[in-house]
Amino acid sequence: MSTFVKMSTLCLLALVQAQSESQQPKIQLRLAGDKRKHYEGRLEVFYNNEWGTICDDDFSIEAAHVACRELGYLGAVAWSPSAKFGQGEGRIWLDNVHCTGGEKSLAECPSNGFGVSDCRHSEDVGVICNQKRIPGHRFINTMNNNVEVQRVEEIRIRPISSHLKRIPVTEGYVEIKDRGKWRQICDEQWTPLNSRVTCGMYGFPGEKKYNNKVYKSLSMRKKKNYWGFSVNCTGNEAHLSSCRLGKALEPKRNGTCGRGLPVVVSCVPGRAFASSSSTGFRKQPLVRLRGGANIGEGRVEVLKNGVWGTVCDDNWNLRAATIVCRELGFGSAKEALTGAKLGQGMGPVHMNEVECSGFEKSLTDCYFNNDALGCSHEEDAAVRCNIPAMGFQKRIRLSGGRNPYEGRVEVLTEKNGSLVWGTVCSENWGMIEAMVVCRQLGLGFASNAFQETWYWAGDASADNVVMSGVRCSGTEMSLPQCLHHGKHINCPRGGGRFAAGVSCSDTAPDLVLNAQLVEQTTYLEDRPMYALQCALEENCLSSTAKKNDHSSYRRLLRFSSQIHNVGQSDFRPKMGHHAWTWHECHRHYHSIEVFTHYDLLSLNGTKEAEGHKASFCLEDTQCDEGIQKRYLCANFGEQGITVGCWDTYRHDIDCQWIDITDVKPGDYIFQVVINPNYDVAESDYTNNFMKCKCRYDGYRIWTYHCHTGELRIIEGLPAGTF
């Protein structure tokens, strides 16, 4: 074959391919419906100026890969038939779609043809895409007569020079990375709803007005490089990329956009992220997050009639999750989690089948079903919120560990005008401080706190102690927010081998006491001293009890305790078998010397009587349906509490009491604290204590209003609120 014929053949093939591509229907895809994440949803097609759905007949993971890549994601994780994300409306554009997986668009895949379908919307297909996006993804806008193709890689808020040092960045130009260059957006068709979405994706609950004169003056001096599209958001989107593209803009040659200017947003940070605390009154939220490893995530709990309860995950979606996030001072929701992904709660399920418009001030303003019958704590809803970039992770590191989750703690601090790395004094270093470190690093929960780190060879240049006297409450977002010595370091042990260290974990247990059972089982018993000799040996009686006084009696406040593990991993003793303590009198081992504290307090908090319980038998007494017991104390067996199980200490065993022999009649507070010394890591220590109101008349005792965790009644909250 001659060279001329070869070239002619190649030209002909190229022409045929070009004609085929030109004849291929132009479509645009989007993810809609009841979404829990921005990268999942009902798959919808824009064709012939109308949005429609796709039938699940013959749909496959290969077709899902094509759709997700067309949407700008790396691929698909899964696909869902039978309108899992809700039924769509309008036309069913595609049916019997057959893709090989290599197509660039669903329009290239064989099907019945556009609009040819015998399906109903109960068969609408959905996809779950890989959350990672394709660098330089090509957005195709078919909402205008002329198809425009642009590449969008990233979105940012770029502050002006006078705001560069502000953390977090709350104000600046909205810019889109397009074909490797940062471009501004013309504000001619920009709306406050667009700003709301932009602020939300950067971790801010709202937007506000800004000084337009400053930016107008700057815009007069600099040449612009505008992006060629407008954006149209409803205000409920989790990300600007989820908004619809508006019509293509035609920037003037001189760099202007008609009468408009570059888009600027000014965001309102939540209270925890604001540079200065507001002195104005702030209403305490009726919503809280529990059980999350990182800032801005957790199981959703709401306050109703003074009692905290959970939310059932029926109909739980990104819109409802975003209401929670904004209410708590975060941005929009990244994920709406179901199936108790962040641990099971305790107590009532307050809300079910929540439906929000997206603009409510509180989750309690949304429509919901009061009837939670059929909902269990296995269906507790949770959220992960967008939070502002505070740069916390850049100022702390773990050094010398065997993996990224452990090591000596080293912090970046200013010394003599320059930034240097140094260690943290380990004196009084404990699990609460380790919890803050792991949170700051984004490494989950603390599993251990170390006061010696000689086995981890850290950076020798960072051996000097730069932080001492650290004491954290556990709510801090970073270690410098904890109480600590100022410029005058005081660390007698020095750094080096005695520097503080941590190990972190993705999961942790979470112990919660059943307050209702305590309230139901409380009673008094007068017991003779001759039957209390072992209890006396284990320090379970008050100091007035005498060893050889066999004729007297002690008055004991008895009760049962049921301790549930509602976390995400098993609760295990800190020490192994070899370190357990044998107690001859009761003839058993103590795996944790002080597992619970029992106290009777005066109304002003003074301790009037006390007791404690050693962990001589941590085991799975009972478990939720479908969960197998793993721990049994018999025969020196493994001790612990499995996730979804509970350990019961009956009222009639030794030391399951408070000795109130010397207590006068009156009103008291009965308090139980689990894991009081934080010997074992947990995801949440705030629910480790229980309090009851208590009245003693010298003969009988009444306990009532028992509750776990924070105060049950919030001051100023009307009865029956929500």
Distance of alpha carbon 233 from alpha carbon 310, whole angstroms: 31
CATH superfamily, with its number, for domain 154-269: SRCR-like domain (3.10.250.10)
Q: What is the mean pLDDT of residues 6-23?
A: 44
CB neighbourhood size of 333 (10 A): 28
The pLDDT assigned to 153 comes to 61
Residue 355 dihedral angles phi and psi, to the nearest 5°: -130, 120
Distance of alpha carbon 538 from alpha carbon 27, whole angstroms: 76
**Residue 12 above 90 pLDDT?**
no
Burial 82-91 (b: 16+ CB within 10 A, else e): ebbbbebeeb
Q: What is the mean pLDDT of residues 85-111?
A: 92
3-state secondary structure 219-239: HHHCCCCECCEEEECCCCCCC
Q: What is the mean pLDDT of residues 640-656?
A: 91
Segment of 186-190, 234-238, 395-399, 583-587 carrying the highest mean pLDDT: 395-399
The pLDDT assigned to 103 comes to 92
Least confident stretch, 149-163, 442-456, 652-666: 149-163
Between 517 and 189, the more confident residue is 517
pTM of the model: 0.76
CA quadruple 218, 219, 225, 229: dihedral sign:
positive
**Residue 6 above 80 pLDDT?**
no
Q: What is the mean pLDDT of residues 204-228?
A: 81
User: By the 8 A CB rule, do 618 and 574 touch?
Assistant: no
3-state secondary structure 502-571: EEEECCCCCEEECHHHHHHHCEEEEEEHHHCHHHHHCCCCCCCCCCCCCCCEEEEEECCEEEEECCCCCE
Distance of alpha carbon 161 from alpha carbon 365, whole angstroms: 41
Q: What is the β-pairing status of strands 465-467 and 418-424?
A: parallel
The domain 287-386 is placed in CATH, from the list 3.40.50.10860, 3.40.50.300, 3.10.250.10, 1.10.357.10, at 3.10.250.10
Q: What is the mean pLDDT of residues 324-330?
A: 95
Segment of 88-102, 238-252, 340-354, 590-604 carrying the highest mean pLDDT: 88-102
The pLDDT assigned to 651 comes to 93
Q: List beta partners, residue 600.
A: 609, 670
The CA-based angle 384-387-482, given to 5 degrees, is 105
Q: How confident is the model at residue 289 (pLDDT cuts 50, 70, 90)?
A: very high
Q: How do residues 53-69 score in pLDDT, each as one tens digit?
A: 999 999 999 999 999 99
Which residues of the chain form CATH 3.10.250.10? 28-129, 154-269, 287-386, 392-505
Q: What is the mean pLDDT of residues 94-120?
A: 92
Residue 264 dihedral angles phi and psi, to the nearest 5°: -125, 140
SS3 content of the chain, % helix, strand, coil (to 5): 20, 35, 50
Between 652 and 280, the more confident residue is 652
Q: What is the mean pLDDT of residues 474-490?
A: 90
Number of alpha carbons in the 13 Å side-chain half-sphere of residue 318:
26
Taking only Cα atoms into account, the Rg of the chain, rounded to an integer number of angstroms, comes to 31
User: By the 8 A CB rule, do 217 and 202 touch?
Assistant: no
CA quadruple 255, 256, 257, 261: dihedral sign:
positive
Structure token digits, residue 524: 């008094």
Sequence-separated contacts (24+) of 301-306 with Cβ below 8 Å? 301/345, 302/350, 302/351, 302/363, 302/364, 302/722, 303/714, 303/717, 303/721, 303/722, 304/348, 304/350, 304/721, 304/722, 305/719, 305/720, 305/721, 305/722, 306/712, 306/713, 306/714, 306/717, 306/719
Q: How do residues 390-445 score in pLDDT, each as one tens digit?
A: 888 899 999 999 999 999 999 999 888 889 999 999 999 999 999 999 999 999 99
Computed over every residue of the chain, the mean pLDDT equals: 84
Q: How do residues 664-703 score in pLDDT, each as one tens digit?
A: 999 999 999 999 888 899 998 888 999 999 999 999 999 9
**Residue 255 above 60 pLDDT?**
no
The pLDDT assigned to 328 comes to 95
E strand or H helix that includes residue 173: strand 171-178
Place of tokens 């999750």: 321
**Residue 188 above 60 pLDDT?**
yes
The CA-based angle 633-639-645, given to 5 degrees, is 95
CB neighbourhood size of 25 (10 A): 15
Q: How confident is the model at residue 19 (pLDDT cuts 50, 70, 90)?
A: very low
CATH superfamily, with its number, for domain 392-505: SRCR-like domain (3.10.250.10)
The pLDDT assigned to 614 comes to 63
**Residue 276 above 80 pLDDT?**
no
Q: What is the mean pLDDT of residues 452-480?
A: 89
Between 562 and 179, the more confident residue is 562
CB neighbourhood size of 204 (10 A): 30
Distance of alpha carbon 258 from alpha carbon 260, whole angstroms: 5
The domain 28-129 is placed in CATH, from the list 3.10.250.10, 3.30.470.20, 3.30.2350.10, 3.40.50.300, at 3.10.250.10
Distance of alpha carbon 49 from alpha carbon 71, whole angstroms: 18
User: By the 8 A CB rule, do 351 and 52 touch?
Assistant: no
Q: What is the mean pLDDT of residues 465-491?
A: 91
DSSP assignments along 131-170, one per residue: SSBPTTEEEEE-SSSS-EEEEE--EEEE--GGGTT-SS--
CB neighbourhood size of 519 (10 A): 19
